[in-house]
Amino acid sequence: MSPYRNLEEYNIEITNEVKEHFAKIMDDLGEDVSREGLLKTPERAAKAMLFLTQGYKQDATEILKGAMFAESYDDMVIIKDIEVYSLCEHHMLPFFGKAHIAYIPNGHIVGLSKIPRVVDVFARRLQVQERLTHDILECINSTLKPKGVAVVIEAAHMCMMMRGVQKQNSVTTTSGFRGQFEKIETRNEFLKLISADLS
Ligand SMILES: [Zn+2]
């Protein structure tokens, strides 16, 4: 299985099954599934949902291992403002925002594009923001074995914005730190760098 597999070819059996479920749900919600505008909606919804949960079939560790290079650089590497789109596991509604990730190499660096890929692998499944943060942190920590790794995610949750408490502007921040980032000075340097506007 290629770690880069993108779900562009859909398993017909699974797609059809999910499609039938969506048609039933739409009917239960009071829609007329046979009206013209909705004819292809169950299939589109099935494909969208399979795309948004393709992370179950991808291997973040393999993605990182495939692009690790020996390198003596040992200062902080920061990838800021990585877009995050995920689905909350409680309501299956989107939550989205940005991830900021840093690591301090310990003999190896990783291709920079791989870090956002790791984010996608864990974001494209049913998640809670806390576990998403932890999954990314542990994957980088155990694969790259850096001197330290830090992950901060800021996200807005549609299940809070559209229903329930209807707090339109609240953003949830989660963070995790390992190794040298557990030291307050290193952590503060990282937090200062991700909040600096370099543009
Ligand atoms: Zn939710």
pLDDT digits (tens, 9 = 90+) for 71-89: 999 899 999 999 999 999 9
Give residue-wise pLDDT tens across range 50-73: 999 999 999 999 999 999 999 999
The Cα–Cα gap between 122 and 119 comes to 6
Burial class (CB in 10 A: 0-12, 13-18, 19+), 55: buried
The radius of gyration computed from the CA coordinates of the chain, to the nearest angstrom, equals 20
- The phi, psi pair for 70, rounded to 5°, reads -65, 130
Closest CA to 137 of 119, 113, 110, 157: 119
101 DSSP β-pair partners: 79, 151
pLDDT digits (tens, 9 = 90+) for 78-136: 999 999 999 999 999 999 999 999 999 999 999 999 999 999 999 999 999 999 999 99
Closest CA to 55 of 123, 143, 1: 123
- As annotated, the binding site for Zn(2+) includes 88, 91, 159
| Token duo for residue 104 | 């301090």
Q: Bin 143: left if φ > 0, else alpha if -120 < ψ < 50, else beta.
A: alpha
DSSP symbols for 84-149: EEEEETTT--EEEEEEEEEEE-SSEEE-TTHHHHHHHHHHSSEE-HHHHHHHHHHHHHHHH--SEE
Known binding-site residue numbers: 88, 91, 159
Residue 53, pLDDT score: 97
Catalytic choice (58, 127, 157, 180):
157
pLDDT at 3 over 70: no
Catalytic residue among 21, 43, 62, 91: 91
Residue 1: pLDDT band (50, 70, 90) is very low
Tell me the CA–centroid distance for residue 103 and ligand 1, in Å: 30
For the chain, percent of residues with pLDDT exceeding 70: 93
> Is 159 assigned a catalytic role?
yes
